[in-house]
Amino acid sequence: MNTHYHPTAGATLKNGRYAVLRKLGEGITAVTWLVNDKSITDNRLRYFAAKILSAEATAEPHGPARERDMLQAIADSSEQEGHDYVPDLCDSFNEGPHLCLILPLYSTSVASLCHSGPHKCLPVYMVRSIIHMTLHALQLLHNLKIVHTDVRPDNILFTNARFSFVPDLENLFRTTLHTTVLRFRLIGFGHAEWLNRTPSRTTLCPPALRPPEVILSYGFGTAVDIWAIGCLAFELLVGRRLFHPEDDGDDWTNEEDHLAKMQQLTGQHFTADVLTRAKNGVKYLNPNGHLARIPELIPVSIEQAMRNYNIPGLAEEDIQESADFIRACLELDDRKRPTAEELLEYSFAKKAWLCH
C-alpha cells in the first residue's frame, strides 16, 4: 500500500512556487502532476511535470536518493553527446513526506503511438530514429555508470510532437519518409542502477526484457540495456514482443521457456565460460550448455520471426538489416554484446533519418 500525494484545490508545492493543475499519470511508487511554475513569466515555458513519490517510496533506503542522484548526474553532463535524448532535472525537493522531482513536460510515449497504429507497430523510418536516439541516450548513461534496466516503449517519449488528432497519426503511419523531424527522450529512471554498486533489487528488468545473465545470474552490467534494445527494435517493427515466455505446468517453468526461446532465435548455446559464471546454471542447464528439461529446440531465425507477421511496408532489406542488428544485441554471452557506441555503426541505426 503506497500513500500518494493527494492535492486539494489550489494546492501548491515548494512554498507556493509550483501550482498543481492536474494528474498526468500514476504508477506504483509515484504520481506525476502537471504543474505551473509561477516564478516564470513566459506562459510557454512555465509548465512542468512533477513526479511525486509516495511516502513509502520516499522513505525507502537509498531508493529516491538514487534516482535523484542519477538525474542530477545527467543534468551535470549537459556538454556530453547524448544529453539531448535524456531528461533534464529542473528541480528537486521534499514536500512533507514526499520527494518531488520537477521535469520538463514531454509529449506522448512511443507505446501510446504503437497502440494507435493498425498493426501496433511503427514505420521503419521511425523505428530507426527511435533506436538511434535511444542508443545515444544509453551511450551517455553508460559513460556515467548508469544502467537503465527498463528500456521499453513506455519509457521513450516524443519531445517535439503533439498527436491530438487522428489525421496526425494516420499521416505518420502512411508516410514512408516523413518531413517532420521527430525527437525522443529516454525516461523512467525509477529502476535504474549504478554500474559500480551492488544492485538495490534482487529482481532486475521487466520479465519480457530480462536477459539470460539475469535469469542465470552470471553478471550485471550495461549489456542488460543492449539486450533490451534488441527486444525494443523487434517490438516496434512488428508490434509483438520478442519474448513472451510461458510455463507448462510440470514440464518446464517460465524461465526455462524463456531460455529456450533465446536459444531458438539466436541459434546459440551457453558457452563454458558462461556456465562457469552462472550461479543458477545447474538449475536449468546441463554441462553442455543446453536446457536440461527442454532438450529439443526448433530453430527460428529472427528474419523468419519477423516475416511471419507480414507487416506491410517492411521490405526484405529492412528485415535483413534489423535482424543483423537485433542478433548482435541478443548475444547470449553478455561480455560479447556490442556497446551502444558500436551499435550506432550498424546499418540499421546509421540509416536513421535525422536532421541536425
Residue numbers belonging to the annotated binding site: 51
Ramachandran bin of 153, using left for φ above 0, alpha for ψ from -120 to 50, beta for the remaining angles:
alpha
In angstroms, rounded to a whole number, what is the distance separating the alpha carbons of residues 234 and 161? 24
Long-range contacts of 206-210 (CB under 8 A, 24+ apart): 206/150, 206/152, 207/245, 207/254, 207/258, 208/241, 208/242, 208/243, 208/244, 209/150, 209/151, 209/152, 210/258
Binding-site residues for ATP: 51
Query: Nearest-CA neighbor of 215 among 288, 285, 140, 129?
Result: 285
Nearest 10 degrees: CA dihedral of 53, 57, 63, 69? 20
Contacts of 32 (CB under 8 A, 6+ apart): 23, 24, 25, 26, 49, 50, 51, 52
**Beta-bridge partners for 33:** 23, 50
